[in-house]
Structure 1
Amino acid sequence: MTGARTGLQISFHKLAGTLALVALLAGCQASETLSDLSRIDTAQGSAENIGSLTAVIQRTPNDPEAYNVRGAAYGRAGRYREALEDFDKAIALDPGSHRAYANRALIYRYMGEQQKALADYNRAIELNPAYDTAYIGRGELYRMAGRSSDAFRDFERAIQLDTADPRAYHRRGLLYQASGQHQYAIEDFATAISLAPDQPYGYNGRGLSYLALGDDENAFADFNTALRLDGEIAESWANQALVYEQQGQMAKAAKSYSRALQLDPEYAPARDGLARTRA
């Protein structure tokens, strides 16, 4: 794309020709984690913390924010039904709580109830049109459904609201990357990294765009940084392996692909890469 960035190109051209680009297509579907839970950073999923939050509710049973925070804790713990009950209670006590709607939307997403999630994100935005978290959540819902233009608009809106949430830049970067606009993707990943330098996802995303542009050195540096930050992510090991494979170091590539499969036996890029390098 040339000139100013006015939106995402709708016709995504096919990326082909090298192993790097083949892997890139698979890597664009980054999974979310429960750290996205509407940025209630005080809510942790430990039994001890949930117990403390329950004690707060017992003292103040009509405080909607108490239910909202405990619901986030339940969500982080994977206790989705209990999380929904708390967000329902928070909304009943305060029907204007845009945070509770956005929190409940995320739980619905994890439970596969996408239409309910969309309705809750829409309601959160209706209640607070400046709530960046709801735009980011709805944008990811659209992105995973293949509605790339709608997703792009939501991420763009969050960025226009001066969000400090790295997910907006990371997700927009994934969309640029999927359409082959790698320079723009690299810029967005770099911003995401600056906002969350201790998270590996921006490094993995930027590394793949570097690799697609033929910059193996910077790609390898980014993948190794991602591994240094968190060595338990299959994508990072498969990305590192891809560089080794492109360099003809098949034994090293196979070892990294094997490690990726140990972490996630269903990760197709690692499975396919291991088959290639062992052959």
Structure 2
Amino acid sequence: NWQAAIYDLNEIVKYDASHFDARLYRGRCYFQLGNWARALEDISAAIHLNPNDPSPFYYRACLLRKQYPKAALQDFSVSLLLDDSYDNRHSFLHRGILYMALDRHEDALVDFASVLQLDKNLACAHCNIGVVHLTRTEYFDRAVKHFSDAVKSEPNYTRAYICRAQAYEKMKNYKQALLDFTRAIHMSPNNHHLWVYRGKVLLLMGRTKEAAAAVEQTSKVADMKQVAIQQQSMIYGFLRDHNKTVAALQQTARMKPTGPVLFLLGKAQMKAGLLHEAIKNFNQALEVMLPWHHKQKMPKETADVYLSLGMAHLEVGQNQQALNALNQAIHIKPKNPEIR
């Protein structure tokens, strides 16, 4: 009961505004209630009252990591300078997660390894190392090992099964991928995405009828009409019925013309041979995703849109427009080998 806790802590602060524990715990309560401004005020006050305690630096870093990642990194680092023991292992974990969000994957691996030196059974750390190897280094065998270690540490950790299945899929070990997606569905039967993933693997195995049946199951577990339409488009995509994919995504785009939906629609139109329509929707997606202020950087997701736009221009013989789009993709995501 966070609000009741705040009421009691207010009484303590009223009589002693320099009470370290009261300010720290009240800040944590505000954090839980989503009152970020008051949480930041109390936790910062706790830091000033006792700058040698690692806890408030950790909690302030958790509070700042979305909007002010550089400040959060600094707070996590200070917390670890004050205490790099088992008791503060979550600072290593969350700093590693923040490094991943900032595309500093080598630094992330170091932090996750530090976590496991302190607590070898922390499933989340194993899983995050596996994700780095799955998505960045492409050492899929290492990824599988860490996902398996995560499962050993926490047998009901659904995310580890899903990630391991994706690694097996990359390795073309479809039998094991299917087994892990099926296990994940048993643990989370209402997750419609899992049915889609399972259907995709069945399709790769050549079991087309089972694939269609598995993916169509999404319509029975999805709550929102829009989600059902998107899943329907994925069904048709897996079955390589590109015209029906386009029709389903067009219906979604009419309801909610977001950048990702318009991008998917453009990609489906390319597969269906509707190149000029695809170019139009890629451009619309970029307009939607354009930052509101000209000094802001383009989101990294737009690099993929520019890449597809460039490929579509190439297909219709518009070489200069293709070059312009591909240059933009490289500018936004220069380290992406696929774009180069």
After superposition, give the CA deviation of every residue in 1:56-114 in whole Å (9 maximum; x if it has no partner). Answer: 4135435534544454444344443333233223323322231221222122123x211
Q: 1:191 to 1:263 in 2, by over 3 A?
A: farther
Counterpart CA distance in 2 for 1:129 and 1:260 is: 44
Compute the TM-score of the two structures, normalised by the length of structure 1: 0.69
Counterpart CA distance in 2 for 1:244 and 1:76 is: 42
**2:116 paired residue number:** 159
Counterpart CA distance in 2 for 1:264 and 1:169 is: 36
Q: Which has the higher helix share?
A: 2
Q: How does 1:257-272 map to 2 (within 5 A)?
A: none
Contact 2:57 2:75 (8 Å CA) reproduced: yes
Q: Residue 222 of structure 1 aligns to which amino acid in structure 2? A: D
**1:277 paired residue number:** 238
Counterpart CA distance in 2 for 1:107 and 1:230 is: 29
Within the alignment, does 1:113 sit opposite 2:68 as a pair?
A: yes
% identity of equivalent residues: 22
Counterpart CA distance in 2 for 1:165 and 1:119 is: 24
Q: How does 1:130-149 map to 2 (within 5 A)?
A: 130=85, 131-149=88-106
Match of 1:103 among 50, 56, 59: 59
Structure 2 unaligned runs (5+)?
Answer: 242-340
Within the alignment, does 1:125 sit opposite 2:75 as a pair?
A: no
Counterpart CA distance in 2 for 1:97 and 1:270 is: 49
Counterpart CA distance in 2 for 1:85 and 1:122 is: 20
1:206: how far off? Answer: 1.2
Contact 1:108 1:114 (8 Å CA) reproduced: yes
Counterpart CA distance in 2 for 1:250 and 1:196 is: 29
After superposition, give the CA deviation of every residue in 1:201-240 in whole Å (9 maximum; x if it has no partner). Answer: 1111111112222332332232233233334546534422
Q: 1:134 to 1:205 in 2, by over 3 A?
A: same
Contact 1:237 1:259 (8 Å CA) reproduced: no
Counterpart CA distance in 2 for 1:230 and 1:270 is: 17
Within the alignment, does 1:215 sit opposite 2:173 as a pair?
A: yes
Structure 1 unaligned runs (5+)?
Answer: 1-48
1:270: how far off? Answer: 6.3
The CA RMSD measured in Å over matched residues stands at 3.1
Match of 1:245 among 198, 203, 207: 203
Within the alignment, does 1:50 sit opposite 2:2 as a pair?
A: yes
Which has more radius of gyration? 2
Within the alignment, does 1:173 sit opposite 2:130 as a pair?
A: yes
Contact 1:257 1:270 (8 Å CA) reproduced: yes
Report how many residues are paired: 228
Q: Secondary structure at the match of 2:155?
A: coil
Contact 2:195 2:215 (8 Å CA) reproduced: no
After superposition, give the CA deviation of every residue in 1:33-60 in whole Å (9 maximum; x if it has no partner). Answer: xxxxxxxxxxxxxxxx112321441354
Counterpart CA distance in 1 for 2:41 and 2:79 is: 18
Contact 2:216 2:232 (8 Å CA) reproduced: no
Q: Secondary structure at the match of 1:121?
A: helix
**1:196 paired residue number:** 154
Counterpart CA distance in 1 for 2:5 and 2:54 is: 21
**2:163 paired residue number:** 205
Q: 1:257 to 1:53 in 2, by over 3 A?
A: same
Counterpart CA distance in 2 for 1:164 and 1:59 is: 41
Structure number with greater CO (CA < 8 Å, separation at least 6) is: 1
